[in-house]
Amino acid sequence: MKSTCAYNDRMENQAVQFQIVDPYLREQYGGSHLLQVWNNEGHLVYEKVLLAECKIWQMQFLYFIFKPASEEDSYHDCYHILNLTDGTMRLVRDWMNDGSFIHVFFQFEGYFFIANNKTFSVTYIPDHHVSS
Residue 132: inside a domain: no
Q: Are the C-beta atoms of residues 120 and 95 closer than 8 Å to each other? A: no
**What total of structural domains would you count in the chain?**
1
Distance CA 95, CA 108 (A): 19
For residue 24, what pLDDT is reported? 97
Has residue 130 been placed in a domain? Answer: no
- Is there a domain that residue 33 lies in? yes
List 59's β-bridge partners, or say none.
64
- Those residues whose C-beta lies under 8 Å from the C-beta of residue 86, and which sit 6 or more positions away, are none
Give this prediction's pTM. 0.76
Q: Tell whether 83 is covered by a domain.
A: yes
Q: Is 105 within a domain?
A: yes
- What confidence score (pLDDT) does residue 18 get? 93
Q: What is the residue-level pLDDT of the chain in tens, covering all 132 positions?
A: 677 676 667 788 889 999 999 999 999 999 999 999 999 899 999 999 999 988 788 887 778 888 888 888 878 888 888 888 888 888 877 766 655 556 666 665 677 777 767 777 777 766 554 444
State the residue range of the domain holding 52: 3-124
